[in-house]
Amino acid sequence: MAQAHEARDRLIAAHGWSVDAVEILPVLASGDRIQDRPLAEIGGKALWTKELDAALGEGEIDFAVHSMKDVETIRPDALTIAALLPRADVRDVLIGATSIAAIPQGARLGTSAPRRAAQMRNLRPDIDITGFRGNVATRLAKLQAGEADVTLLASAGLGRLGETGVGRPLDADEWLPAPAQGAIGIECRTDDNPMRAWLAAIDHAPTRAQVIAERALLLALGGNCHSPVAVLTTGSDRLTMRAAIFSPDGAIRIENSAAFDADDTAAPAKLARALLSEAPEAVTAFFTGSPG
């Protein structure tokens, strides 16, 4: 809802509309309703988009607001990501310890994200992973109740909810974020030209360049909700991308980087192939891309 309000406010500001020009229609996604199992077991990222896709298709809404890291890499041709808002802080925040090194031996990390679990196991093999899902308030309550010793949340989400003093942001050089983390995307029907034009006014070019490149990397890797993949992209016209893929147990980490022009659509796929070519079967088994 915080993201929807940000999108509305930016549209109003860009076009000089009145406050009531944009109506926010709450839609409860399956990902919100089903919280007792990891997403990878019950339908993956589609659980965040299918209800909104249906509402768009039936004309109940004119555009949908998404956390881009939760949007499937392949989208229906009938829908278009018409705007990407300026990207927020891409970092993860560690809650329950002052640093990764300071986490007590054998502590429990609460997360259901394969990337977070594998990256933590790579750095701290002694740490146990316990399943943790829900919104920010739910996860913080679970941590407070002792269901885990530490957890990780996206800095962007915490910031949008005003929870800026919670935990310690992890340096992106030490801890890579998820593809498209911190980015809000606005999707509409492809054939709705007036809406696409209105949304284009709030599209942020540097964010679009980074997010499109990261989604292209994920597509070429053949990554899904089971795939431990992390990536950090910086720049605008010229991008620098650093990416890593892991075995689920974190024992194997394959990392590589590339610098390329934002309009070089082949570069992310080339980096994906380089990662896969270096990776053993214990890693590539969780990706469907081809290194060839």
Residue numbers annotated as active site:
70
Alpha helices in 69-204 (DSSP H): 114-123, 136-144, 155-160, 193-200
Residues in the chain: 292
Rg (CA), the chain: 19
3-state secondary structure of 198: helix
Burial environment of residue 103 by CB neighbours within 10 A (0 to 12, 13 to 18, 19 or more): buried
| 86 in Cβ contact with 63 (< 8 Å) | no
Angle subtended by helix axes 267-278 and 205-221, to nearest 10? 40
Q: Please state, as a whole number, how many other Cβ atoms lie within 10 Å of the Cβ of residue 230.
A: 23
Distance, C-alpha 173 to centroid of its chain: 17
| 118 in Cβ contact with 249 (< 8 Å) | yes
Burial environment of residue 256 by CB neighbours within 10 A (0 to 12, 13 to 18, 19 or more): middle
Segment 14-19 long-range contacts (CB within 8 Å, at least 24 positions apart): 14/201, 14/202, 15/198, 15/201
